[in-house]
Amino acid sequence: MTDRTKPRRVRPAKTPTVPAQRARGWLTVDEFCGELMISRDTFYDWRKKGRAPKCAKLPNGSLRIRRSEFEKFMTTAEDNA
C-alpha cells in the first residue's frame, strides 16, 4: 500500500504589526480610535462637532488621518486638560 497523504496547507504569513498607512505616516479611523480607546461613533461625533483632527478622504470614501495631525490633536488635548 502506498502512503497517500494530503499536503498540508500553508498558512499565509501574518501581516506586519505596523500597517502600511501607519508606516507612511497615516492612520485609519480604526487605528486612531484604537490609540485613544474610543468608539468609531465618538470619532464621527467629534468630527461632526469639529473636534477631530483633519482627515483626508480617499476616493473610496474612507478617511485617513496624518500622524502629524494626530500628534497635534494630542498636544492640543493635553494643553486643554
In tens, the pLDDT along 32-53 reads 999 999 999 999 999 999 999 9
One-letter amino acid identity for 31? E
Task: Using CB atoms within 10 Å of the CB of residue 67, give its burial: 0 to 12 exposed, 13 to 18 middle, 19+ buried.
Answer: middle
Phi, psi of 45 (to 5 degrees): -65, -45
**Is the pLDDT score of 14 beyond 70?**
no
Distance, CA of 27 to CA of 34 (rounded, Å):
10
pLDDT at 79: 81
pLDDT at 23: 59
**Is the pLDDT score of 70 beyond 80?**
yes
**Is the pLDDT score of 59 beyond 60?**
yes
Distance, CA of 49 to CA of 22 (rounded, Å):
25
* Domain boundaries 21-80, corresponding CATH code: 1.10.1660.10
Query: What's this model's pTM, rounded to 2 decimal places?
Result: 0.68
pLDDT at 3: 60
Q: How do the domains of the chain map onto residue ranges?
A: 21-80
